Amino acid sequence: MFAQNPSLDTSSNNIVMENQTTHKVNTFSINPYRWILKTRIIKGFDELNKQNYHYLTNLFDDNVNYELEGDHSLGGTRISKGGVEKWFERLLRLLPSKFVVNSIVVSGPIWNTTAIIEFTDTVTPKFGQPYINNGIQVIKLHFGKVLKVHTYVNTNKVINALNVLYDNGIIEAKADKIEE
C-alpha cells in the first residue's frame, strides 16, 4: 500500500508514510508523548530506507550510546553522535537495507522513557544474496532525546554478508569497529 502523505489506515491503525510500504505497527496511544515517539520512530526508519540517517541522529543526545551486538565491522558500541553518524555511513555502504517496523512499545515517564521496536530488515548487499534479518531495538530516552540504543539482530547473517563482501574486494567489510 502506498500513500502520498502520511495517513492512518483506520481498518488496522497502521500508519502509511510517503512512498513507503505500510508498517505493521499500531501507533494509537491516548498519551500524546507516546504517539509522537512512535511516529518519529517510524519516520526515522522510513528516512533510513531513503539512505538518510540524519533524521535519526538529530534525535540523539550528543553523548548517545549506540550498540550493535557482534564481533564484526558493524558491531560494537558508539559513544558519540559523530561515531554513530560514521557507523550509519558504513552500514549504508556495506549493507543497504529496507526496514519495516512490526511493533513499537513505549513505556515510562518523559524523563525516563523506554521504546522497544521489533523490525524486519531486508538487506541487499552489493555481492552475495539478499537476506532478511529480524531485529529488536531497545531505546532509552530522556525528554525525547535518545540516550541509548541497543540493537539485537542475527549477527551470523551480518557476518556472513560481510565475509562475502570482503571476499569480493570490499576491504571495509573487515575494518575495525567504529567505537568513538
Q: Are 40 and 26 in contact (CB under 8 A)?
A: no
Q: Is the pLDDT of residue 19 over 60?
A: no
Antiparallel, parallel or unpaired: β 145-152 and 60-68: parallel
pLDDT of residue 9: 40
pLDDT of residue 30: 79
Mean pLDDT of all residues belonging to the chain: 88
Q: Is the pLDDT of residue 56 over 80?
A: yes
Q: Is the pLDDT of residue 13 over 70?
A: no
Name the residue among 81, 87, 70, 96 with its Cα closest to residue 148.
81
Q: Is the pLDDT of residue 28 over 70?
A: no
User: What number of CA atoms fall less than 13 Å from residue 34's CA on the CB side?
Assistant: 16
> CATH: 3.40.47.10, 3.40.50.300, 3.30.360.10, 3.10.450.50. Which one for 7-174?
3.10.450.50
pLDDT of residue 100: 96
Mean pLDDT of 28-56: 91
Bigger pLDDT: 6 vs 169: 169
Name the residue among 156, 132, 146 with its Cα closest to residue 75.
156
The residues with which 114 forms a beta bridge, in sequence order, are 107, 140
Least confident of 3-12, 56-65, 158-167: 3-12
Q: Is the pLDDT of residue 146 over 60?
A: yes
pLDDT of residue 12: 40
